[in-house]
Amino acid sequence: MSEDQQLRVSKITEGTVIDHVTGGQALNVLAILGIDGSGGEEVSIGMNVPSERLGRKDVVKVEGRELSQDEVDVLSLIAPAATINIVRDYDVVEKHRVERPGEVVGVLQCPNRNCITTKDEPVDSRFAVLDEGVRCAYCDTIIRESIADHIHVD
């Protein structure tokens, strides 16, 4: 196939390309980044596009935005093979594989309504990353499945 036939999502000028995302997880990636379109962000998404490494993958391209380490840490839980590409002036200037962190801070919400982190206290959520899920550092509640459903939305 020629380059022209292969190109599905336009290149970006400046920003972040999250590539090799587990197929079907692109919308959860946007949720982690707090992007729902209402902020006017310029975003392109490819879903379930063919990939040599993964079979099928999603790609999320965000113009004019870099990711925080906390966002990347949560991303690694739902898209463990993702690569984060920083683009400046059309060129990829940095490329990193995500790494599974020891803990994730801020981005997930504890499902326990009595947890201090879900009250009106200025306490960031904090979860230890386990093999089988994540555990709240404050109340020990464990989230085992559908971690993306616990992404904090303001």
Residues that bind Zn ion (CB under 5 A): 110, 112, 115, 136, 138-139, 141
Q: Is 137 annotated as a binding residue?
A: no
Among 16, 25, 76, 85, binds ligand CTP (CB under 6 A): 85
**Measured between alpha carbons, how far is 59 from 45 in angstroms, rounded to an integer?**
6
How far apart CA 48 and CA 20 sit, in angstroms, is 10
Ligand-binding site membership of 38 (annotated): no
By the rule CB under 6 A, 29 interacts with ligand CTP: no
Instruction: Compute the chain's Rg from CA coordinates.
Output: 17
* Alpha carbons 130 and 132: distance in angstroms, whole number: 5
User: Which residues lie near ligand CTP (CB under 6 A)?
Assistant: 11-12, 17, 19, 59, 61, 83, 85, 87, 90, 92, 95
Binding residues: 110, 115, 136, 139
